[in-house]
Amino acid sequence: MTVRIGSIVIGGTALVAVAAVLGLALGLLYAWVINPVQWTDATPDLLRADYQTDYLKAAIDSYSVNRDVDLAVSRYQSLGAAGPTTLAAIQADPGEVSPAAVEEFAATVTLYPTTPGATPSATAAPPTTSITQYLLPVCGVTLVLGLLLGGVLLIRSRSGRRAPREAERYGLPEPGEDRVPYEVSSPPSRPAGLDRPPLATFRTTYTLGDDLYDDSFSIESATGDFLGECGVGIGDLIGVGEPKKVSAFEVWLFDKNDIQTVTKVLMSRYSHQDDASRNRMAAKGDPILAEPGAVVTLETASLMVEARIVDLTYGGGALPADSFFERITIELRAASKLGVD
């Protein structure tokens, strides 16, 4: 078979080659210019190393403001195997990020164990197609079918996404997960209110140099009604100079149904052994020796808060040993004493 174009005669083989080249050119034009593939909702572990660093710095800044432990851990774990190395690089060179915020973030996320091979919580959505402004006649049918298939896949992707992480707030694994949740050890006997699932669980970390440290958290019922507040703040100092050397923390609970705020004071070993310091702190609340794993219970008319010291490190230097805190992490579990929250 031959085709004559003017004085040019094209044989059958050449005609097939020309058609193939033309089809390839049209296909590349459509796939790369008119309707390129667009990836959305990709997981951070697929990012380049410098983008992973920027992502984790943003997660650290976010956690220093919102104090959302679940979100911080989820964002850290979404980096997969690159998470520890990226965090270590930021700790070595925090740049514009506050070193105290970096250490606080690291202390929080590293306390949550992960199962080897676990996948990040975010799921990558399949590539979807966009509606093009110009359609090639020869690709019209293919485009319509592609849009229909993309819509089905998008609906399935959205319906299959994980539910809110309420189960993790209560220390329970989510359906389909084999990750071991963070477990909080219980004291020998717990108040009856804390035997039920807590209304909320908060975690706060102080690091030496955070001279304005004062964390507070709102306690709400399951229906969103405000019930009270709890928090941790600086209670006492030792020595002079900057940064301030914190020797005691106040753990407090406010109940809207009670007339007073309950406070207990967690003291360093040195301050707790000093009669003058202990007597001075007794005016604020019960003085208690701060030790890793220690559990303190605060109770009001309708609320209970269990404060557990997860991690504790003393600072060193010219001051007496075990006199001020280098870092301390406290978990607060709030529960209702009433039969109906």
Measure the CA–CA gap between 175 and 296, rounded to whole angstroms. 32
In a domain, 69, yes or no: yes
Read off the pLDDT of residues 111-131 as tens digits, 9 standing for 90 and up: 765 544 444 444 434 444 444
Q: Of the residues 169, 203, 224, which one is the last residue of a structural domain?
A: 169
Read off the pLDDT of residues 244-268 as tens digits, 9 standing for 90 and up: 999 999 999 999 988 889 999 999 9
331 and 197 co-located in one domain: yes
Phi, psi of 78 (to 5 degrees): -70, -15
Measure the CA–CA gap between 312 and 330, rounded to whole angstroms. 9
331 and 225 co-located in one domain: yes
In a domain, 204, yes or no: yes
In a domain, 238, yes or no: yes
In a domain, 102, yes or no: yes
Domain extent, residue 323, equals 193-336
In a domain, 63, yes or no: yes
201 and 332 co-located in one domain: yes
Per the confidence metrics, is the pTM higher than 0.85? no
Read off the pLDDT of residues 148-158 as tens digits, 9 standing for 90 and up: 767 766 665 55
In a domain, 96, yes or no: yes
201 and 315 co-located in one domain: yes
In a domain, 188, yes or no: no
Q: Of the residues 111, 136, 169, which one is the last residue of a structural domain?
A: 169
Q: How many domains does the chain have?
A: 2
Q: Are 327 and 313 in contact (CB under 8 A)?
A: yes
| Token pair 């702190």: residue | 281
In a domain, 28, yes or no: no
Omega into 191 within 30° of 0, i.e. cis? no
219 and 113 co-located in one domain: no
